[in-house]
Chain A
């Protein structure tokens, strides 16, 4: 009992099962996607499956028995020959049809289906709330759904295909066996009893695999410490590697003990099944059939051929039929994830009829916010005002809530309480896309897309005149010379992801490209989150000068924890643990002699010496 408890602990994720109705609905959903993309593909798929299903049984087992019995009982040769001819034409014709279907029709069409599902998912993803990325379960489902989009529907089709084939085989064979001798059905059904052992084996096997997980994780980890370059230096000083080798070796013994515990049990269970099928069923049925043929003369050699092939075949397929049906349950689980995601409605969403945003003053009024699953509020009653054309600096220690506040401004999240308004109207009342478009942003963790420089700067579909626009913006951000030195200039694809001739830019240059985003449009607001982190002091200096010039008339909010850049802001907000601790101009705050002044002096001390304190 105790062992069992331990095992249960080790597998926290118990596989859930969907109700039958939902399983059927999900299967239908999958097939509908195929039907939607191509009617003809859908029809050909079923025709192929149905024509193929009886062939295997007819051409191997039944054909042999007809021939043998026909010859032995001196039936007319023409009849047998005609039967052979029908089977020959059918099977060769089918081979051709099958070939055309599997090689030419199916692959391309299936990619279309997968693409169709993926695009639906991607569009959903692009509109999902940012908060979803912080909810692990949502994110997991999302990644799974995306992964599954590639072949899950294909596998559903495969399972349907198999199901039809199996059912056809089983019904034809059992019907025939039944007509030969009804008692044979008993032999056929016997292995189903073995299903109990099979389930026990499967359950143990599952436990065995889950109990292996911690062992495998250990081994993987050790392997990583040995081969990842991140660890290479530390592994060479001290004797950490001895410790790691020990972990690795111990994990082998754990594995051996575990296998000993489960291996013998599953071996016996698996033996019972094989014995039941091969010896009891097949040899048993055969002995029975031989006895009836030789001693009682009630059966023919042809019947024995059928018994020989079909009893085993039916038992085998009956067992697999159960597995086949179980597959649908598994598919349904994955499709459920897909559907969950497709049915998801974002909380922050586009309203076509809402008014457009056109700039103005931003007022943050007593905003409180907490991340989903977090234990405390990240923002606690933050209030601030950003007047048109003002340059605002947000400063503070790591984790004080600066970046979160920026995300609130962009409406990636809505506040828990309090409000943010633009031009006197709550930002929730504006049309989402138009509201977000009124900002140009450079994020701390900016990213380049594997697209031409132009799209990386504009972040939208290409329009007339974009090249010139981007060239000018790059001049302002300091990236012009580098980009124009590339063969295709602003049409150069970034990264080598798609394009062998793509350019890999250094981090500093990437930052310049992403900074160009703010110069390429004239949106009323600019947000810069640690814009100079990857730049050296000289580049940082130039960038700031250009930005100040280009942003005339536009409001700028920039985040930095290097205080030197805050000095020139119109107003500084110092955030501390989710509240605005101090606000004012640089000289106001220095006079106030509070946290800001203290931080500034600490940083300045090393540059200008102790006299700064005076």
Chain B
């Protein structure tokens, strides 16, 4: 994910120093060898870049002074020795050491972030704004850390190069040194203005790029292929594309003229004039015999090198606030403390569960947020906010089968998240065996509940590991896993697989991995709840990917397996709900009706209306 922080960073110096310094210290602590070798290699690099000019200077001067060959030879030998040694170090470092040590730093930083990620509340993932920042930080932590380090090292390199070259120039002629300094500073300023302008340009052009990408996508994504072929929408889109290009060209011209003034007149042309001025000036000095050939060649030859190094140095310094901005975000994640805290009570065996006046609204205000988003970036609209709960009370006992029904957005899934303690209620309490679930040990509490999520996921691991959802112990778990898969209706497929439950899923890691169909995956997901002695089972639309026959079989299997367990079904197909002991009907976050199927039909309210609509055609003709 590429993301530009388009707003110009404006941070206080001490904040920048603190953030960047902290990271550099961290690198120094985690991988001291990376830090040290990088600094050495850049210091040497800085010297080597100046060395060429120095050697030129010495060599040509000696020639001009008509020294003996034996006097000049040491300079040549020094050159040879210097390059020989320098390249030994540089090759080893660049080709081996740097690569490994960098990855090691990545590994350490990533592991830290992974562990942090696991401890984050699920609510963080539901908050699109937080989530985007989070993903971005995860993606960039390693490269940003080494980026900071590289910029720091480059600073050392350019400082050494420009310092050395500048020192040489002063000894040759202070006036030239001053002139080149001034012209370098002007070019840095012009560069800076140009940069700011290009920020503006990017910002202004972003919508145009987006349009372009969007239209391209429509033509090449298979998703749109049918619509594009069955109508004449492509003509509309091509018109739009031409119009868009027209705007791009116009914008390019507009900015191009400004760039020309900034970069070329202030930077390039001025630089050229300085350069030719130095040539003429030194030519006169050479004519008058004030300087030797070496000084002449070195001072003319050094101009571009020095200018480049001075600009890079200043550019390099200006990168630090940007790093600090990133790090601000990064530390934000590392310092964020989860809201759902574990209690201390041991969890007893499940007897009852009660919701007492529970209300819930999605509130992400305590997530770390940042002000400097990309102009182009808009957080996706928050779809969860509507899906809240208002003053819900309900209770269930051991062994009961409960159905929760309602339209999309009625609050069904939110309810489940509260029961699982992925969230805590904004108001009211969830009680287990009469005690608030917040008082129980969180890990232990969670381990009592088996859930099949609507959007279940398979991991790229073996089937067995997917069923136990973690590390699998072949000695003790084997039987259980196979039984669970059988119960979930996966038995037939399992017998076709050569490696049985040790088959790797997905081809992510293993070319011989198996890709399961949607229905088969769902069965594996269902097997998860059969594989462990859960006391409460939650099924969130467990049959969505199954056809009617498989759905029927599944329902039978669940009833059989979970005869003495507590089961909560969520569904908006009412067909599944008849077998429930009790049905809870939710409507926009409110528990509107509950009771058995018969009771609710008699009540003739929302549930009856929904059921009758779905049943109408079945009933009419059969």
Contact = CB atoms under 8 A, between A and B. Distances in A.
Given A68-B286, A77-B287, A227-B117, 4 more contacts: A142-B220, A256-B104, A264-B95, A541-B613
A465 interface: no
- Specify the main secondary structure of chain B where it touches its partner: helix
A233 B453 contact: yes
B366 to A, nearest CB: 18
Given A99-B265, A608-B615, A221 B238 contact: no
B126 interface: yes
A203 interface: no
A67 B279 contact: yes
Interface string A548-580: 000000000000010111011000000000000
Contacts of A268: 91
- The winner among B87, B449, B471 for most chain A CB atoms within 10 A is B87
Nearest to B84: A279
A127 to B, nearest CB: 8
Given A243-B465, A460-B231, A536-B408, A286 B76 contact: yes
A15 interface: no
A267 B138 contact: no
Interface string B534-560: 000000000000011100100000000
B260 A122 contact: no
A230 B265 CA distance: 53
Given A290-B63, A497-B210, A237 B621 contact: no
Interface stretch (A26-34, A317-325, A414-422, A446-454): A446-454
A304 interface: yes
A88 interface: yes
Interface in A253-275: 255-256, 259-260, 263-264, 266-268, 270-271, 274-275
B457 A230 contact: yes
13 contacts: A67-B296, A68-B296, A68-B297, A77-B287, A99-B260, A114-B245, A122-B238, A229-B131, A259-B100, A271-B91, A497-B214, A536-B572, A603-B548
Given A115-B241, A304-B60, A459-B231, A449 B619 contact: no
A108 B226 contact: no
A505 B110 CA distance: 38
A238 B253 contact: no
Given A68-B286, A142-B220, A607-B575, A234 B456 contact: yes
A73 interface: no
B118 A248 contact: no
B548 A599 contact: yes
Interface string A43-74: 00000000000000001100110011001100
Contacts of A607: 574-575, 611, 614-615, 618-619
Interface string A95-126: 11011100110011101101100110111011
A235 B224 CA distance: 34
Contact of A98 (B231, B242, B264, B611): B264
B299 to A, nearest CB: 10
Contact of B236 (A112, A114, A222, A451): A451
A460 to B, nearest CB: 4
A601 interface: yes
A436 interface: yes
Contacts of B99: 259, 263
B286 A67 contact: yes
Interface residues of A, number: 153
Interface in A194-234: 214, 217-218, 221-223, 225-234
A436 B233 CA distance: 13
B135 interface: yes
B300 interface: yes
B241 A118 contact: yes
A84 B257 contact: no
A436 B230 contact: yes
A612 interface: yes
A287 interface: yes
Contacts of B269: 92, 95-96, 99
A223 B616 contact: no
Nearest to A89: B276
Contacts of B465: 240, 243
Contacts of B273: 92
B111 A504 contact: no
Nearest to A450: B214
Contact of A245 (B114, B235, B279): B114
Interface centre among A114, A234, A458 (most CB of B within 10 A): A234
Contact of A241 (B118, B214, B283, B615): B118
B139 interface: yes
A612 B469 contact: no
B110 A223 contact: yes
A64 B300 contact: yes
Given A271-B88, A447-B227, A607-B615, A108 B256 contact: yes
Contact of B622 (A95, A218, A245, A604): A604
A459 B233 contact: yes
Interface string B84-111: 1001101110111101100110010011
A143 interface: yes
Contacts of A602: 548-549, 552
Contacts of A226: 113-114, 117-118, 138
B64 A263 contact: no
Interface string B212-254: 0011101110111111111111111111111001001110110
Given A234-B456, A243-B471, A267-B94, A99 B268 contact: yes
A589 B431 CA distance: 52
B446 A236 contact: yes
Contacts of B408: 536
Given A293-B63, A601-B622, A537 B468 contact: no
Contacts of A603: 548, 575, 618
A560 to B, nearest CB: 11
Contact of B620 (A308, A459, A567): A567
B226 A264 contact: no
A160 interface: no
A264 B100 CA distance: 12
B479 interface: no
Given A243-B461, A604-B619, A439 B138 contact: no
Given A68-B293, A112-B245, A290-B72, A227 B135 contact: yes
Nearest to B134: A227
B164 to A, nearest CB: 18
A537 B238 contact: no
B456 A460 contact: no
Contacts of B232: 459-461
Contacts of B225: 130, 133
A80 interface: yes
Contacts of A459: 227, 230-233
B459 A240 contact: yes
A358 interface: no
B56 interface: yes
B582 to A, nearest CB: 16
B496 to A, nearest CB: 15
Contacts of A498: 207, 210-211, 214
B264 A504 contact: no
B83 interface: yes
Contact of B621 (A64, A249, A586, A609): A586
Interface string A300-334: 01001100110000000000000000000000000
Contacts of A439: 230
A461 B242 contact: no
B118 A278 contact: no
Contacts of B245: 111-112, 114-115
B83 to A, nearest CB: 4
Contact of A537 (B96, B577, B613, B619): B613
A371 interface: no
Contact of B617 (A538, A564, A601): A564
Nearest to B215: A122
A233 B422 contact: yes
